[in-house]
Amino acid sequence: MTMAPVDPSAPYDRDNIFAKILRGELPCTKVYEDEHALAFEDIHPQAPVHVLVVPKGEYVSWDDFSAKASADEIAGYMRAVGKVARELGLVESGYRMIANIGPDSGQLVPHLHVHLCGGTNLGRMIPA
């Protein structure tokens, strides 16, 4: 599926892919779920472990989330990201968290998500 870069000024689109996954309208390979977050395998993995962690609320980006989410949502989501990394066994070997926000980042899905990547040496943070 071809997707356009996310427009950060656009309102939340309830038909985005991750919204549909959260509602159970599209399948995913679920890794973790709690009150605040859902984690599932990325459909195009770029590392041996590549999991997406999304908040359950309707937030387009980190900017949106950090400005509008409640303290409970923010704490719950942050804890969930850490818990997923722990449960995936990534803490000792290390891992990378990536959150693409807006056009320059290449964000394609307009629902906030953190990529958790690991399982190998990931090299430079931003390839030259």
CB under 6 A: which stretch of 58-66, 70-78, 84-92, 102-110 binds ligand DGP? 102-110
| Residue 106 found at the interface with ligand DGP (CB under 6 A) | yes
Strand order in the sheet with 114-118: 30-33, 37-41, 49-55, 114-118, 95-98
40 in contact with ligand DGP (CB under 6 A): yes
Residue 113 is a catalytic residue: yes
Q: Does 91 bind ligand DGP (CB under 6 A)?
A: no
Q: Which of 31, 78, 108, 122 binds ligand DGP (CB under 6 A)?
A: 108
Helix, strand and coil content of the chain, in percent to the nearest 5, comes to 25, 20, 55
Does residue number 28 form part of the binding site for ligand DGP (CB under 6 A)?
Answer: yes
Q: Which of 110, 83, 123 is nearest to 17 (CA)?
A: 110
Is 19 an interacting residue with respect to ligand DGP (CB under 6 A)?
no
Report DSSP state, residue 66: H
What residues are annotated to the active site?
113
